[in-house]
Structure 1
Amino acid sequence: MNNASSYALPVIISVLLHALLIGVLAFGWEATQEPPRKSMPKFVQAKLVTVDATVKKKKAPPTVDLIERRQQQKLQRQREAKAQAERRAALERKKKREAEQRKKAEAERKRKAAEEQARKEKERKDKEREEQLEQQRQSAFEEALEDEEELLDARESTQAVMSLAQAIQQRIESVWSQPPSARNGMVTEVRISFVPTGRVVASNITKSSGNAALDRSVLNAVRKVEVFPEVAELARAEPALFEREVRNTQLIFRVEGLRQ
Structure 2
Amino acid sequence: MNKGFYALAIAISLLLHGALITAITYGWEASSMPERKAMPKFVQAKLVTIDAATPQKKLPKKVDKVQQRAQREAEQKRQAEVERKRRAALERKKKLEAEKKRKAKAEAERKAKEEKTRREKERKEKERKEKALKEQLAKERQSSFDEALEEEQELLDANEGQQAVMSVAQAIQQRIESVWSRPPSARNGMLTRVKINFVPTGRVVAANIVDGSGNAALDRSVLTAIRRVEVFPEVAELAREEPIIFEREVRTTILNFKVEDLRQ
Smaller-chain TM-score bracket? 0.7 to 0.9
How much does 1:206 deviate? Answer: 1.1
Aligned residue number for residue 248 of structure 2: 244
Query: C-alpha deviations, 1:148-194, integer Å up to 9, x for none?
Result: 21221122111101110011111111222222222222111111222
* Alignment correspondent of 2:170: 166
- Where does residue 238 of structure 2 map in the other structure? 234
Q: TM-score of the superposition, structure 2-length normalised?
A: 0.71
Give the deviation of 1:124 after TM superposition. 1.2
User: Of residues 62, 68, 73 in structure 2, which corresponds to 1:69?
Assistant: 73
1:179 and 1:259 map into 2 onto residues whose CA distance is 13
User: Is 2:235 aligned against 1:222?
Assistant: no
1:60 equivalent in structure 2: 64
- State how 1:1-260 maps to structure 2 within 5 Å: 58=62, 60-260=64-264
Structure with greater helix share of residues:
1
TM-score of the superposed pair, with normalisation by structure 1: 0.72
Q: Cα distance, 1:242 vs. partner?
A: 2.1
Distance in 1 between the 2:225 and 2:85 partners?
A: 132
1:12 alignment partner in structure 2: none
DSSP-derived class of the 1:82 partner: helix
Q: Write the distance in 1 (CA, Å) between the matches of 2:110 and 2:236.
A: 83
Supply the RMSD in Å over aligned alpha carbons: 1.9
1:177-215: CA deviation from partner (whole Å, max 9, x where unpaired): 222222222111111222333222321111101111111
Moved more, 221-230 or 208-217: 221-230
Q: Please state how far the C-alpha of 1:61 moved relative to its aligned partner.
A: 4.2
Q: CA separation in 2, counterparts of 1:73 and 1:201?
A: 131
**d(CA) in 2 for partners of 1:226 and 1:209?**
23
What percentage of aligned pairs have identical amino acids? 56
Deviation at residue 59 of structure 1 after TM alignment: 5.6
Describe the superposition over 1:98-117 as per-residue Cα deviations: whole angstroms up to 9, x where unpaired. Answer: 11111111111111111111
Say which SS state the counterpart of residue 181 (structure 2) adopts: coil
Aligned pairs, how many? 204
